[in-house]
Amino acid sequence: MKKFLIAFLVFTAVLTGGSADEAAFSVITNNFGARNYAPGAIPKADLDKIVSAGARAPSAGNRQPWRFIVVSTSALVKKVFRDAPDGNAVVIVLARQTGRDAAFDCALATENIYLAAQALGYGSRIYVGPLNDINGGLRNELGISREFNAVAAVRVGRLPLGVDAASSASSREPESGLITYK
Ligand SMILES: Cc1cc2nc3c(=O)[nH]c(=O)nc-3n(C[C@H](O)[C@H](O)[C@H](O)COP(=O)(O)O)c2cc1C
């Protein structure tokens, strides 16, 4: 009986591990930048998870040259994205201005945030378009110190029904021309 129980536990662990890996892989390969969003708030607990995925990114020398601003106040979100429906949030990624490799490190943090949002079932899209406004006119309101500059804004929101990678992702170049094996 004891042997059967151990075998059952190992079998379950392997099964669970396998499906978790596949789910993670699917989020990475099926990512897409959502253009349209449905209204509806994102619970604070989910925003916490999404931004903390950014703070878990690897960085050169583990210097972690970033800060994050989570904007969920509707009026302020609309100053970044005028067409944002209620409930959209924006995670702004700030890079330390003097940091070596800071832009590269912050790109990794940005990707983590973008993918974490999709792993939780939300739509997300990375933007550099609003950076002039964020680092300029909105800088004081967002409380960005002189040491840091925004390098990306990740919009997060609820997806309209039926919108997924199959219906929304842009095409990619054929991999045969991109990858060589030696
Ligand atoms: C660094 C970076 C900056 C981007 N900036 C913008 C932007 O300013 N405006 C925009 O509409 N999309 C922006 N995007 C989204 C890309 O256009 C999108 O990821 C790309 O076209 C792939 O399309 P897909 O997500 O539909 O597959 C940006 C993406 C990245 C990675």
What confidence tens digit (pLDDT) does each residue in 45-87 have?
999 999 999 999 999 999 999 999 999 999 999 999 999 999 9
Give the mutation target among 31, 82, 128, 154 for probing the ligand 1 site: most ligand atoms within 8 A of CB: 128
Q: Is the pLDDT of residue 14 over 60?
A: no
pTM score, whole prediction: 0.90
DSSP string, 28-67: HHT--B----B--PPPHHHHHHHHHHHHTS--GGG---EE
Question: Which of 16-30, 69-83, 165-179 bottoms out in mean pLDDT, i.e. has the lowest?
Answer: 16-30
Backbone φ and ψ of 43, nearest 5°: -60, 145
Neighbour-count burial of 172, counting CB atoms closer than 10 A to its CB (0-12 exposed, 13-18 middle, 19+ buried)? exposed
* Ligand 1: centre distance to CA 9 (Å): 44
| pLDDT tier at 163, thresholds 50, 70, 90 | confident
Give the residue, by CA position, lying nearest to ligand 1 atom 6.
Answer: 127
In this structure, what DSSP letter does residue 82 have? T
Per-domain boundaries in the chain: 33-158
Give the residue, by CA position, lying nearest to ligand 1 atom 18.
Answer: 33
CATH no. of 33-158 = 3.40.109.10
**What pLDDT was estimated at residue 1?**
47
Give the residue, by CA position, lying nearest to ligand 1 atom 7.
Answer: 127
Q: Where do we find the tokens 């998870």? A: 49
